[in-house]
Amino acid sequence: MKFSDYRISPKIKEQLETLGFTRPTDIQFKAITPILNGEDVFAIAYTGTGKTGAFVIPVLDRIDSEKRNKAAKGVKALVLVPTRELALQITDVFQQIGKLLPVKTACIHGGVEQDPQIKQLNDGVDVLVATPGRMFDLVSQGHLDISKVRFLILDEADLMLDLGFKKDILDLMRHIPKKRQTLFFSATITKKIKSFAYDIVRDAIRIQVSPKNPVAKTIDHAVAFIEMDDKRFFLENMLKEFPENRFVVFVRTKVRAERVMAAMKRVELETEFLHGGVDQNERIGILDRFRKGENRVLITTDVASRGIDIPDVDYVINYDLPDLPENYVHRVGRTGRGGKRGQALAFCSPEERELLASIEEYTGAEIEHYEISRGEYNEIISGSEDGSYDWQKLLRDASKEDGTEDEWD
């Protein structure tokens, strides 16, 4: 089936063709028609499956139809997401696909001044993409009226649950009409997610797109066993070996992000880091520079693991393995997008082997082990350009431990 076969606005079809979209993905094929028919939807779909388009296309069509029938003014669709970056990205998708329609989309989120957002709301908005905190702030201040919402969309609902937004979202139900259409999208499914979903949706169509191995087939992934203190040398080696490629490097904490960036700076490798403590305007600038190729190495915490669409990422490096195995899938999903092949390499220290086992159990497949000989391992360390350490002493100490001291004398 092609998008041209759907009973949607000719202007949406025209714009989809302009953007190069001709056929729906699996989740889009399963979700678009029920949404067009007014059904509630409870969908489980991993990152990179095209789930944003699965709700953007039919919601735009229905709002366009209502506007042509002179429906009441006000926010008609409310899209709630857990992070600022995802809010901005989904807003962009609404604006791109709805470019030829008289449908206004706005984005509100924390971390920036609220006055420009209030002005947008006062100018009139049909689709509002929001993070829960800023949305409730503006509702409580009387700047945002959501009493006419016809479509409620929760995207990355599992992450919103993890971040503690459940009570806020359930409180939201008191502010919006009972007669509405609810679309609930989650990357994972658990008892908590099911319970959360069925508190919100009514007689929902359930859709699940979850291959046996949730890691996309376009991604080649492997793991290398590296001591925790040696990881920076191996990252340096990778970045210098592939100077034209683009890397997203995941670490566990913002402190780690800053330390890894400092280590790369010592060896004259330019990087930028992204974490929850970075000012929102700067976060937008960092992602924009990375998308444009002005910076080829992005060091980040899991703030960039969910829903962020960054094209043409060649490598994802799991510098630190994630605490939650599902986050591994979200992280590596930053590469291998749009049908292109991607590479994912994890650095696993001895203390992280239990995390690796959890990841392999979750994905249902053993990750290929990248074997590093002792000689290659030592060569990578000794080849580092970081002059702040005595490499020969380190290597001698390592040689004493494995009984090969004579090789260095």
Give pLDDT, residue 41.
Answer: 96
Tokens of 343: 């590479």
Q: What is the sign, positive or negative, of the torsion defined by CA atoms of 352, 358, 363, 365? A: positive
Tokens of 63: 């709002």
CATH code that applies to domain 3-209: 3.40.50.300
Per-residue model confidence as pLDDT tens digits over 106-164: 999 988 899 999 999 999 999 999 999 899 999 999 999 999 999 999 998 888 887 78
Contact by Cβ (8 Å): 258, 225: no
Which three-class secondary structure state does DSSP give residue 277? Answer: coil
User: Which residues on neighbouring strands pair with residue 78, listed in sequence order?
Assistant: 128, 152
Q: Which amino acid is at 319?
A: Y
User: Which residues on neighbouring strands pair with residue 346, listed in sequence order?
Assistant: 223, 318
With a cut of 50, which residues of the chain have pLDDT below it? 404-409
Give pLDDT, residue 409.
Answer: 32
Tokens of 131: 């993070």
Distances from the Cα of 307 to the Cαs of 73, 128, 310, 348, in angstroms?
30, 18, 9, 25
Give pLDDT, residue 213.
Answer: 63
CATH fold match for the domains 3-209 and 219-372: yes
Residues 6+ apart with CB under 8 A from 204: 39, 40, 41, 42, 182, 184, 197, 198
> Hey, which CATH number is domain 219-372, 3.40.50.11740, 3.30.2130.30, 3.40.50.10440, 3.40.50.300?
3.40.50.300
Per-residue model confidence as pLDDT tens digits over 270-284: 999 887 777 767 877
How far is residue 70's CA from residue 77's CA, in Å, rounded to a whole number? 16
Give pLDDT, residue 363.
Answer: 83
Q: Cα-Cα-Cα-Cα dihedral of 109, 113, 119, 122, to 10°? A: 50
Scanning 124-247, the segments in alpha helix (DSSP H) are 132-140, 157-162, 166-172, 191-198, 231-241
Q: What is the sign, positive or negative, of the torsion defined by CA atoms of 47, 368, 348, 250? A: negative
Give pLDDT, residue 282.
Answer: 82
The domain limits of the chain are 3-209, 219-372
